[in-house]
Structure 1
Amino acid sequence: MTETPLRRLVIVLGDQLDEQASAFDDFDPAQDAVWMAEVTEESTHVWSTKPRIAVFLGAMRHFRQTLVARGITVHYLALSDAGNPGTLQTALTDAILALQPRALGMTAPGDWRVLHALREVARHHQLPLHLSDDRHFFSTVREFADHARTHRPLRMEYWYREMRQRFGILMERGKPAGGRWNFDTENRKSFGKAGPQDVPPPTRFAPDAITAGVIDEVNTRFADHPGSLASFAWPMTRPQALQALQDFVSQRLPDFGTHQDAMWTHEPWLYHSHLSSSLNLKLLTAREVVQAAVDAWQAGQAPLASVEGFVRQILGWREYVRGVYWTQMPGYVDRNELQATRDLPAFYWTGDTDMACLRAAIGQTLEHGYAHHIQRLMVTGLYAMMLGVRPREVHYWYLAVYVDAVEWVEMPNTLGMSQYADGGLMGSKPYVASGRYIDRMSNYCKGCRFDPTVSTGARACPFTTLYWDFLLRHEARLQTNERMIMPLKHLERLDAEQREAVRMQADLHRASVGAIERDQD
């Protein structure tokens, strides 16, 4: 027991690494202390890849160093500490018994499971747990809930426009800059046969002593986990994150919009920002990231189409998915609108598949802990949905493999947008496409043994086969969806013999796909 009981023990989680966080608003170093904990549970409740584990541990250890340099007392539990119980609940219980704080405080967590666990501990010890709003977002969950009550059906586009107007972002005299709310016709083009040209290198940071120690520990302690740390170079500190932001705005933002949906073999980084891990760790705020992009447009350094496309991802989708998550949990994780029942294929953990697009996207993911949004939505996610994988298993995989994966942002994007498990809450239609889409937006198909134009036979592309099979299996369900009218009209052209051939080909493919079982609840 400490000689002078603490007024408040401030809990800082691995995705709350900001000195200006709301939990510190009335922090008094003479009376308060910070508590941080590394626990095995956070790397094993889903089978997290080495890059994801290393990002959180490395950033946490750097943040501890930052706080200590400010004279703040940090009670830090490391993985290797004797007596580390391995779970957040037990670790916090041990800290409460040892430190005897009068109260607990923290910025509101981004994970319903964690919030529930911490509340249970506080309740058990009869301690107040003071939660403050997370200022890293433009909006609060309460504001989104108010919006949701008056907008049926919920649509991201309406929320995005409301946010643009409310905060005056890309607005001119009350109207959207350029006279339009989006510039999709200018954006989202392929690279063409020539491929990407003169792509600026990504901003990477050589591991310092702290990060190198984390890499060694992860490779030892989590040796059986998938993924590689051979090229690990993510931002671990706020100064590094700010440098990554500046480099993106000056070097890649001008071409981001045009090629934001394009893919290319052996080009994992392209013109994307690579800022999502820094945003989700809270090394950067959404406001400063959006403002940096808007400033570039106003200075004539980036076209409006690219800037709007980027702002839409942060101000639109990112805020929207957070609202969906917190207004729909805890039941959201069990949604399964399409009644999918299959196991996740084993090759999602290895990249060992003949399908070139999946081999490239998964291989890149395991190497770097990164894939951009179209690789996630229209390659790995699309295949899982059309194959009929249980959405909860797909969610576990996405949460496990990406360095930016925090549940509040990952779950709605996976269950809702990617798998259509929420029946249209996140997106107004299933994001379903044949191999022709991947062929148009990438060069993956050029070296693949499958033909994206063929749906049956030895050279049939599994994506194309499963696309038609998906429409056949869900034809009745999709007939009331106006955005599916055209695909269903194309389906009508298939006669009975062609439909049966597609079904047989899809059954053959499913029978050929092995699965790996993991006990994850």
Structure 2
Amino acid sequence: MVGRLVLVLGDQLSPDIAALKAADKAQDIVVMAEVSNEASYVPHHPKKIAFLFSAMRHFAQKLRQDGWTVDYTQLDADTPHGSIAAALIAAADRHGTSKVIATEPGEWRLIQHLNDAPLDLTQMEDDRFIATHAEFEAWAEGRKQLRLEWFYREMRRKTGLLMDGDKPSGGKWNFDHDNRKPAPGEVDFSGPLRFEPDAITSDVLDLVETRFGGNFGTLRPFWFAVTPENARLSLTHFIDGGLTKFGDYQDAMLTDERFLWHSILSMYLNAGLLSPLEICRAAEAAWQKGTAPLNAVEGFIRQIIGWREFVRGIYFHEGPDYTSRNALAHDRALPALYWGGETKMHCLSQAVAQTREDAYAHHIQRLMVTGNFALLAGIHPHEVHEWYLAVYADAYEWVEAPNTIGMSQFADGGVVGSKPYVSSGNYIDRMSNYCKSCAYSVKTKAGEGACPFNLLYWHFLDRHRDKFQGNPRMGNMYRTWDRMNADKRDTIVAQADAFLSQMDAGRPV
């Protein structure tokens, strides 16, 4: 007797996902499908598509070994499906049931897509996260501002991570002050573990090469983990080798050093191959054993139970229109340099090159290089949003949109951050060695060879003065601008305008 269909999506590859926990292995049928709409609604990086398809196929294999009946459709099948709903409807016809249970997707678009399907479908809340929707809403209710620090403390209390009774371990909630050291001379960590593709992954790579070979991004060599077992090996590798210095240098950037001491675990976590608590407890255990310092462990854990949980809460709290917000009315098209076009800006060249080759860049490269430039240049936030969603292997809308629309582009008007994250070239110079190899001079504020970040920084502040001059965190910036003589201010604005015009015309900048 056939019971219900159990939908499992490509970022729900956890054996304890809500829909599987609620299902009956004896009579329910798991439905998984590689569908063209999900692979192409933005031009996803080929490595991202290959990672998810391979991880899905491996997960389906494991489910079958565990006794589940799995209805799995590959994109290269004789009758592939265009959408998740189409795959479910076809499965319902094959198996003679219209009842479906699903774990709530992490995108409003997909939630609505499933709700519109002509099926008896129940969506269950995804309980792999620390904070439920109800808990976040209860925390947010009545607050004038939603800020990470206060929410993070609640997550620490709930999980008991790095807690000494009701007090934070080490006497402080946050050791971020210790985690802003500039780039060192060399890196003594080997970077993420790399895995050779097995037969399943090799078949997927051939499919992706054929179907998505024209997308931005290098497919081969492909080295990602695609099973929970290999993802856990990656976690152990980071805990043993990278965590010790992760805190000190988490904001640092170095030419041709793509990974430094970062974990590169977010794509495994966001797809469900790892859980947030197993990652955090492994880090906490390293501190308890004395093999990693508290500042590194606290900073790492804060990214997962703090920031990751916070932005998910924001995404669902703000609603389906969040990605369309544009508080600063920016309307410039995304320039070709984001897709690998020629640029003389070394920092952007480095960030985009590693994005193209590895579907990865760490949080400061995303926020303070590619994101900072897009904000300063006035690029339309939805175009920036879709670029980040497309090019990074860990990007799903629930986590990407608040980071981009909110944190990076200030397009939500201050929901996520109290001020725009903008900086001149000085910040990049302080935290990296990028500027030493650049055609522009970071020390030159105006005139020939001036760093574009220097010009665009003041241009941004000048054109948005009415919005930000009253912001208490930005007063010093405007006082500095006002102390410059009028001729210098006019020169900076004119040079920035000329730079933007050249970029808009498609000429290398």
Fold-level similarity (TM above 0.5): yes
Aligned mate of 2:131, from 124, 127, 139: 139
User: Is contact 2:423–2:457 with CA below 8 Å preserved after alignment?
Assistant: yes
Aligned mate of 2:161, from 169, 181, 194: 169
SS at match of 1:225: coil
Task: State yes or no: 1:356 paired with 2:364.
Answer: no
Which sits farther off after the overlay, 406-415 or 489-498? 489-498
User: Is contact 1:343–1:515 with CA below 8 Å preserved after alignment?
Assistant: no
Separation (CA, whole Å) in 1 of partners of 2:505 and 2:242: 38
The equivalent of 1:519 in structure 2 is: none
Q: Deviations over 1:475-521 (max 9, x none)?
A: 221122221122222222222212211111111111111489xxxxx
**Amino acid paired to 2:44:** S
The equivalent of 1:507 in structure 2 is: 497
The equivalent of 1:15 in structure 2 is: 11
Instruction: State the 4+ residue runs in structure 1 displaced beyond 4 angstroms.
Output: none
Which structure 2 residues correspond to residues 36-115 of structure 1 after superposition, within 5 A?
A: 36-115=32-111
Separation (CA, whole Å) in 2 of partners of 1:145 and 1:83: 43
The equivalent of 1:256 in structure 2 is: 246
User: Is contact 1:9–1:101 with CA below 8 Å preserved after alignment?
Assistant: yes
Task: State yes or no: 1:279 paired with 2:269.
Answer: yes
Q: Deviations over 1:264-307 (max 9, x none)?
A: 01111110010000000011111111111111111111100001
Separation (CA, whole Å) in 2 of partners of 1:97 and 1:513: 53
SS at match of 2:38: helix
1:379, distance to aligned residue in structure 2 (A): 0.3
**Amino acid paired to 1:333:** T
The equivalent of 1:153 in structure 2 is: 145
The equivalent of 1:266 in structure 2 is: 256
Separation (CA, whole Å) in 1 of partners of 2:328 and 2:348: 22
Q: Deviations over 1:148-191 (max 9, x none)?
A: 11322111111001111232221213221111111122112112
Separation (CA, whole Å) in 2 of partners of 1:200 and 1:474: 44
The equivalent of 1:298 in structure 2 is: 288
1:458, distance to aligned residue in structure 2 (A): 2.4
User: Is contact 1:231–1:368 with CA below 8 Å preserved after alignment?
Assistant: no
User: Is contact 2:187–2:260 with CA below 8 Å preserved after alignment?
Assistant: no
User: Is contact 2:75–2:81 with CA below 8 Å preserved after alignment?
Assistant: no
Separation (CA, whole Å) in 1 of partners of 2:160 and 2:188: 34
Q: Deviations over 1:375-418 (max 9, x none)?
A: 00000000000000111100000000000011100010011000
Question: In percent, how many aligned pairs have the same letter?
Answer: 48
The equivalent of 2:30 in structure 1 is: 34
Separation (CA, whole Å) in 2 of partners of 1:506 and 1:52: 36
SS at match of 1:226: coil
Separation (CA, whole Å) in 2 of partners of 1:197 and 1:247: 15
1:135, distance to aligned residue in structure 2 (A): 2.5
SS at match of 2:177: coil
Unmatched 5+ residue regions in structure 2?
none
**Amino acid paired to 1:399:** L
SS at match of 1:398: helix
Task: State yes or no: 1:226 paired with 2:189.
Answer: no
Q: CA RMSD in A?
A: 1.4
Which structure 2 residues correspond to residues 313-462 of structure 1 after superposition, within 5 A?
A: 313-462=303-452
Separation (CA, whole Å) in 2 of partners of 1:103 and 1:89: 13
Separation (CA, whole Å) in 2 of partners of 1:401 and 1:357: 17
Separation (CA, whole Å) in 2 of partners of 1:106 and 1:457: 59
Which structure 2 residues correspond to residues 183-198 of structure 1 after superposition, within 5 A?
A: 183-192=175-184, 195-198=185-188
Which sits farther off after the overlay, 92-101 or 454-463? 92-101
Separation (CA, whole Å) in 1 of partners of 2:189 and 2:483: 42
Which sits farther off after the overlay, 438-447 or 474-483? 474-483
Separation (CA, whole Å) in 1 of partners of 2:277 and 2:478: 42
User: Is contact 1:351–1:360 with CA below 8 Å preserved after alignment?
Assistant: no
SS at match of 1:365: helix
1:87, distance to aligned residue in structure 2 (A): 2.1
Unmatched 5+ residue regions in structure 1?
517-521
Separation (CA, whole Å) in 2 of partners of 1:514 and 1:93: 46
Which sits farther off after the overlay, 454-463 or 136-145? 454-463
- Residues 351 and 189 (structure 1 numbering): CA distance in 2 closer, same or farther, change over 3 Å? farther
**Amino acid paired to 2:284:** V
**Amino acid paired to 1:83:** T
Separation (CA, whole Å) in 2 of partners of 1:282 and 1:425: 28
1:351, distance to aligned residue in structure 2 (A): 4.8
1:201, distance to aligned residue in structure 2 (A): 3.2
Q: Deviations over 1:346-399 (max 9, x none)?
A: 121115211100000000000000000000000000000000011110000000
User: Is contact 1:346–1:515 with CA below 8 Å preserved after alignment?
Assistant: no
SS at match of 1:135: coil
Separation (CA, whole Å) in 1 of partners of 2:356 and 2:311: 25
1:330, distance to aligned residue in structure 2 (A): 0.6
Separation (CA, whole Å) in 1 of partners of 2:258 and 2:371: 17
Q: Deviations over 1:127-154 (max 9, x none)?
A: 1x22223222111111101111132211
Separation (CA, whole Å) in 2 of partners of 1:466 and 1:399: 25
**Amino acid paired to 1:23:** A
Q: Deviations over 1:217-257 (max 9, x none)?
A: 11111121111122221110000111111111111011000
**Amino acid paired to 2:39:** S
Separation (CA, whole Å) in 2 of partners of 1:117 and 1:295: 42
**Amino acid paired to 2:500:** R
User: Is contact 1:7–1:102 with CA below 8 Å preserved after alignment?
Assistant: no
1:31, distance to aligned residue in structure 2 (A): 1.1
User: Is contact 1:280–1:404 with CA below 8 Å preserved after alignment?
Assistant: yes
SS at match of 2:101: strand
Task: State yes or no: 1:312 paired with 2:308.
Answer: no
User: Is contact 1:106–1:130 with CA below 8 Å preserved after alignment?
Assistant: yes
1:428, distance to aligned residue in structure 2 (A): 1.3
Q: Normalised by the size of structure 2, how large is the TM-score?
A: 0.97
Separation (CA, whole Å) in 1 of partners of 2:213 and 2:156: 46
Q: Deviations over 1:10-42 (max 9, x none)?
A: 000000001121211232222101001111111
